[in-house]
Each structure stands twice: as C-alpha cells, then as structure tokens.
Structure 1
Amino acid sequence: MEKACLECGEKIVGRTDKKFCSDYCRNSYNNNLNKDSKNMVRNVNNLLRKNYRILQELNPDGKIKLPKSRLAAKGFNFDYVTSTYTTKAGKTYYFVYDQGYLPLEGEFFALVKRI
C-alpha cells in the first residue's frame, strides 16, 4: 500500500507509520493546523511581555508612586494582566507575573513587586 504525505501528497518512503515525506512537510502541516490559535496566544503573550517590561522599567526598586500618564505614555495596556489580588481592606492589586500596580485616587498608581 502506497501512502501519500499529508502536506504535499508526495509518495512516502520508509516506515509504515510515517505521515509526512520530510521534516519540512511535518512542520508546515502542524503550523498550518494551529495557526489561528497560535496567533492569538502569541499576541496576548506579546502584550503581557510588553506590560511586564514597562512595569519593570518604571519600578526598579520594588515600590513607586506615579501618574497614570507615565504608564500610558510607555504604551501600557491595562486590559492585560495575569492575576489580581484583593486585600482585606478591599483594594485590588493587578499583577503581570510578579510586577503589579494598585490604582490610587487622582489618576495615580502605586507600582509594587511581589516577593
């Protein structure tokens, strides 16, 4: 029984359980199969990474207070965080991995680093 490559349709030579004629075809097939979901995940990860770099750059010492405009000027996207933490007093901290921020009154934010 002659099998054809799932990606290009070429004749497969070798093991009986082979599905692809080459590594190129195998990679191409799997990349095409997962393209849509990978793009969405890649875009979200890029946004999280950018937010993390911004928080890390603006908060080198682990705690600082600054206006929202400084975060916005760097391109910080407030819609993308990895977790939240609500204190007993009801204040909610937003975290991007170990870097976080707390919205304060008057368009200010407290940047913190979780230890």
Structure 2
Amino acid sequence: MTDSKKCPVCGALVKGRSDKKFCSKKCKSIDQYEHRQKTETFYLKVDRQLKINRRILKKYNKSGYTIIRQGELIGEGFDPKYFTHYWKNKKGDVYFFVYEFGFLRKSENGKDKYVLVTWQDYMGRKYEP
C-alpha cells in the first residue's frame, strides 16, 4: 500500500521516506526562501514603524517631559502598538518606550492625551540604543 504525496511547491509526486515533504532539494529551497521572505517582511514593517514612532516622539519631546493631544501624534503617523520596552512607576502607571523616548496615555477632561518622557537613570538600567 503506497501513500502518494504531492510536493507543496510544484505538485510532483514525492518519492522516498514517509516523512519527506518535497520532491527535490530545489523545491525545498524555494519553500524556505518564500517563508523567509514573509518573515523578513514582517520584521521590516515593525522596524520601520519603530523608527517612525521614535522620530515623532523625539520631535515633540524636546524638554524631556511634554503633554500632547493623542490626535496630533496619530496624525503624524505614530502607532502606540509599536514599542521596544516599558517601565512601571510606583503608582502603577505603565510608560511604553520606543528606545529612549517614552509615552503614557492619559485622559483629561474627556480628551485623550499622551505624556511624553525621556528615559531617566532612576527608571533602572540605563538604556543605550
């Protein structure tokens, strides 16, 4: 009783071991290359958004502590889902950081705002990009 499998790349019949997936080394290489392309595209997207977020936070946070409307940052292309790390203060507020620039979402008088900060020594181990 033979169990015929088809190659996921070219559709040819796969011969050999029962756990073999591809008909040839060429098809296996093509599959690995295509998978790597998808993975690298994801990482490039994340890296691009982190760079945009850092540039925007740096632009608006010249003093080390700034409060700004959420809409202004979002309008520039800022996406708060992308950050590198976070820090939680003693009050329980969680500041999200994009490298050395941080932000905290606040709501004042029904308006969404961000508190922008710069990494400080008291926050723990010094951050070095």
Q: What is the TM-score when the length of structure 1 is the normalising length? A: 0.68
Equivalent residue letter for 1:48:
L
- Which of 77, 82, 97 pairs up with 1:75? 77
Kindly state the Cα deviation for residue 97 of structure 1 after the two structures are TM-superposed: 0.7
Equivalent residue letter for 2:96:
Y
Give the equivalent residue in structure 1 for 2:88.
86
Structure 2 stretches lacking a partner, 5+ long = 1-24, 27-31, 121-129
Could you report, residue by residue, the CA deviation over 1:72-100 in whole angstroms, capped at 9, with x for unpaired residues?
Answer: 11111111111111111111101001100
Residues of 2 paired with 1:37 and 1:105: CA distance? 37
- Which of 96, 115, 118 pairs up with 1:113? 118
Give the equivalent residue in structure 2 for 1:26.
none
Equivalent residue of 2:52, what SS?
Answer: helix
Equivalent residue letter for 2:115:
A
Residues of 2 paired with 1:110 and 1:33: CA distance? 40
Equivalent residue letter for 1:76:
F
Equivalent residue of 2:96, what SS?
Answer: strand
Equivalent residue letter for 2:78:
F
- Note if 1:64 corresponds to 2:78: no
**Count of aligned residue pairs for this structure pair:** 88
Residues of 2 paired with 1:39 and 1:108: CA distance? 32
Give the equivalent residue in structure 1 for 2:101.
99
Q: Call closer, same or farther: CA 1:110–1:33 in 2, change over 3 Å.
A: closer
Structure showing the higher strand proportion among its residues? 2
Structure 1 stretches lacking a partner, 5+ long = 1-5, 8-29
Equivalent residue of 1:34, what SS?
Answer: helix
Equivalent residue letter for 1:114:
W
Kindly state the Cα deviation for residue 32 of structure 1 after the two structures are TM-superposed: 5.8
